[in-house]
Amino acid sequence: MAKVRARSLEVDAQTRVNRKRESPAPKGLSKADLQLWAAFSQNITLLPGKTRLPMEPEPEPSPPAPSAPAITPPKPSSFNRPVQIDQAPAGLDKSTWGQFAAGKIRAVRRLDLHGHTATRAHHAVMGFIERAYAEQDRCIEIITGKGEVLARELPFWLNAAPLRSLILAVAHPHAKNTGSVRILLRRHR
């Protein structure tokens, strides 16, 4: 029994030694980390007897992946005027303005901003309007809520440079519903 036990201990010890030999080499710094360290070490004074890591030339950047087609806004000259809620803009006929202001042009999409912070809402509005314009939607609606910070900030966001060129008119869908805004987008020409 003692011989068997001694033999089993020998096998266990040998297995442990073999496992240690088979284990992969200790992990060092990644290639990116080595490059960063080499760049950093170029700016420091070395101790006597020490050498710098060689700087490897950076690989040429690969060409960017093709992305979604860029939105090309229309080019009328009325972009200089700020868009105002419930006021007929220049370049829109009275008939279309009357239908839009009366709520007879249906909103194809709606964005509800209840519960959003101002920053999240701003990003959501920008993405929402750009997507709607890219998909050639004509009328969209944004719900901000009455008397909130978002309702106060929305006109500023709509008049900012990236969105102003996409918007033709803005109106409340109903005189008593000031917590919602309908936006008439420009047509693709």
Question: Where in the chain are the domains?
Answer: 83-185
Q: Which has more confidence, 21 or 59?
A: 59
pLDDT at residue 141, as a whole number = 93
Q: Is the pLDDT of residue 139 over 60?
A: yes
Of residues 57 and 167, the one with the higher pLDDT is 167
Angle, vertex CA 107, rays to CA 101 and CA 113, nearest 5 = 100
The token duo for 75 is: 């080019």
131 φ/ψ angles, rounded to the nearest 5 degrees? -65, -45
pLDDT of residue 44: 80
Question: Which of 58-67, 102-111, 115-124, 165-174 has the least mean pLDDT?
Answer: 58-67
Read off the pLDDT of each residue in 53-78 and give the average, rounded to a whole number.
61
Q: Where are the beta strands (DSSP E) in the chain?
A: 109-112, 139-143, 167-171, 180-185
To the nearest whole percent, how much of the chain has pLDDT over 90?
A: 19
Query: What are the distances in angstroms from CA 60 to CA 36, 57, 64?
Result: 17, 9, 12
Q: What is the DSSP string of 111-139?
A: EE-TT--HHHHHHHHHHHHHHHHHTT--E
List pLDDT tens digits, range 36-56.
877 777 778 878 888 776 766
- Which CATH number, 3.40.50.460, 1.10.3720.10, 3.40.190.10, 3.30.1370.110, labels domain 83-185? 3.30.1370.110
User: Looking up tokens 């036990």, which residue turns up?
Assistant: 5
Asked if 157 and 175 count as a contact pair (C-beta separation under 8 A), the reply is no
- Taking only the tens place, the pLDDT of each residue in 160-174 is 888 888 988 898 887
